[in-house]
Structure 1
Amino acid sequence: MSVVILDGSTVRSFVADEAAFARSVDARFAALDANGDGVLSRAELRRALESFRLLDGAGFGSAEPLPLPAEVAALYDAVFEQFDADHSGAVDHAEFRDEMRRIMLAVADGLGSQPLQVAVDDEGGSFLLEATEHEAAMVAAKVQEESRKAAEEADSK
């Protein structure tokens, strides 16, 4: 587990970098495509969603009951339908990338402009961790470029 500091602009910048975002999403897609057929089945996407453990109840010691299996199945079906834009029964690369873009931009809107500390899983390939690493690389490149220009100016004097 890592803690990162980010805001909505961090996520938007990552999504706007088409090449970096595509590499990240395509790597996640490949990891989810268990049978390697180039599309995500309902079962493959469900396994991914289950790994997030979003429906494990309200937490340790909570009196909240676990959702009923039918409710869980309906939720997973609804999420799959959201990803499967063409209703083909499978999610292809383009559908996955488009929906992940929409999700990440919604996350950016939710984060707003105030920097927040966020705990992220650094072993599962977190999009938020990748967004902060992308931002750090961009800042480092800018600083390096400014240092290079300053050195060139100093050498020309």
Structure 2
Amino acid sequence: MSGSLRSREREMGVVILDGSTVRAFVGDEEVFNRSVDERFAALDLNGDGVLSRAELRRALETFRLLETHFGVDVVTPPAEVAALYNSIFDQFDLDRSGTVDRDEFRSEMRRILLAIADGLGDFPLQIVLEDDDQGSNLLQQAVDLEAAKTKAAASGK
């Protein structure tokens, strides 16, 4: 087995999730925008109101896109890594300005989450989500929103 193992210090949680949960989260404009805006602000390290390639890449690296199997990293040539991250940045940078503003970030996160919802379909699945330090896991927030709505409905509020 090539590659290196990285220790996982973060905790994991198991949630039940389906496409309707994610679609409801995206459809709740206020909650969705607040959640995505908080994530955007956390990524905007220099506070200039836009994400640079370096800021977005730093965030993408936390997703471990090049990980193939449970913590084992693939040895990928640097040119391929750069091409992957540049391609993803280009998806976010809708106006080709060289930066990603809050509206572009919202738009792409909406598109990504709706694609995840479509992929999940309507059958509930158990999914392991990694807890993050900032509470910014959008799928976890979708589950939390559904749980809050269910609890409110059950208590008659």
Query: TM-score, normalization: structure 2?
Result: 0.86
Question: Displacement, 1:61?
Answer: 9.7
- Output the CA distance in 1 between the equivalents of 2:14 and 2:31: 21
Q: Which residue of 2 aligns with 1:77?
A: 86
User: Does 1:110 find its partner at 2:151?
Assistant: no
- Output the CA distance in 1 between the equivalents of 2:18 and 2:87: 29
Question: Displacement, 1:54?
Answer: 1.7
Q: Which residue of 2 aligns with 1:25?
A: 36
The one-letter amino acid of 1:71's match is E
Which aligned pairs between 1:37-116 and structure 2 lie closer than 5 A?
Answer: 37-56=48-67, 58-59=68-69, 66-116=75-125
Q: Which residue of 2 aligns with 1:132?
A: 143
Return the structure number with greater strand share: 2
Question: Displacement, 1:51?
Answer: 1.2
Question: Displacement, 1:141?
Answer: 1.3
**Cα gap change, 1:60 to 1:52, in 2 (>3 Å):** closer
Residue aligned with 2:131, SS: coil
Deviations 1:103-135 (A, max 9, x none): 000000000011001111222421110000000
- Output the CA distance in 2 between the equivalents of 1:77 and 1:121: 25
Q: Which stretch of the first structure deviates more once superposed, 65-74 or 5-14?
A: 65-74
Q: Which runs of 5+ in 2 are unaligned?
A: 1-11
Give the root-mean-square deviation of aligned CA atoms: 1.7
Return the structure number with greater helix share: 1
Q: Which runs of 5+ in 1 are unaligned?
A: 149-157
Q: From the CA coordinates, give the structure whose radius of gyration is larger.
A: 1
Deviations 1:42-84 (A, max 9, x none): 000000001111214x33697x952211011001000000000
Q: Aligned pair count? A: 144
- Output the CA distance in 2 between the equivalents of 1:44 and 1:61: 23
Identity of aligned residues (%): 62
Query: TM-score, normalization: structure 1?
Result: 0.86
Q: Which residue of 1 aligns with 2:131?
A: 122
**Cα gap change, 1:133 to 1:68, in 2 (>3 Å):** same
